[in-house]
Amino acid sequence: MGFAGSGGNQAVGTAIKLILDNHSAHISKETRAWLDKQPAGRFEFTFTPKYGSWLNLIEGFFSKFARSVPRHIRVTSKHELKERIMAGIEDVNRHPVIPGHTSSPRPLDMIRTTKTGD
């Protein structure tokens, strides 16, 4: 189970909440058997809906990455392919997109309120 199996530094009694897609490794018999051996309530799994890949942030990243990296690159080795992929990821990290709102918040005194019964 890798990271989840290591237990990390979480306090005893603290639930670890995981959001997963419906990949077969996440719902396999082996995974279920491992979970059955864990203390009750230690892990909470939430699964994204099937055909809801747009909810999975890494799916969106890989989709955008695959469209932005030249499609028909030629490499001479796995090492060169890895170098090009890592260079692409480094480029993405140099120009992060930080989600947020573009409008500035309005002061509360500018918001009209109505009283009930008027």
Residue 115 lies in a domain: no
Please tell me whether residues 65 and 46 are part of one structural domain.
Answer: no
Please tell me whether residues 37 and 19 are part of one structural domain.
Answer: yes
Please tell me whether residues 49 and 73 are part of one structural domain.
Answer: no
Q: What is the pLDDT of residues 93-111, one digit of tens each?
A: 888 777 666 666 655 555 5
**What is the model's pTM?**
0.43
Residue 107 lies in a domain: no
Residue 70 lies in a domain: yes
Q: What is the pLDDT of residues 41-96, one digit of tens each?
A: 888 888 788 777 777 777 778 888 888 776 677 889 999 988 988 988 898 888 87
What is the spatial distance between Cα 23 and Cα 59, in angstroms, rounded to a whole number? 12
Please tell me whether residues 88 and 63 are part of one structural domain.
Answer: yes
What is the spatial distance between Cα 80 and Cα 61, in angstroms, rounded to a whole number? 21
What is the spatial distance between Cα 26 and Cα 6, in angstroms, rounded to a whole number? 17
Range of the domain at 23: 12-53
54: tokens are: 């747009």
- Is 23's pLDDT higher than 90? no
Please tell me the predicted confidence (pLDDT) of residue 79.
93
State the total domains in the chain: 2
Residue 49 CB partners (closer than 8 Å, separation 6+): 55
Please tell me whether residues 43 and 76 are part of one structural domain.
Answer: no
- Is 116's pLDDT higher than 70? no
- Give the up-direction half-sphere exposure of residue 18: CA atoms within 13 A in the CB hemisphere: 16
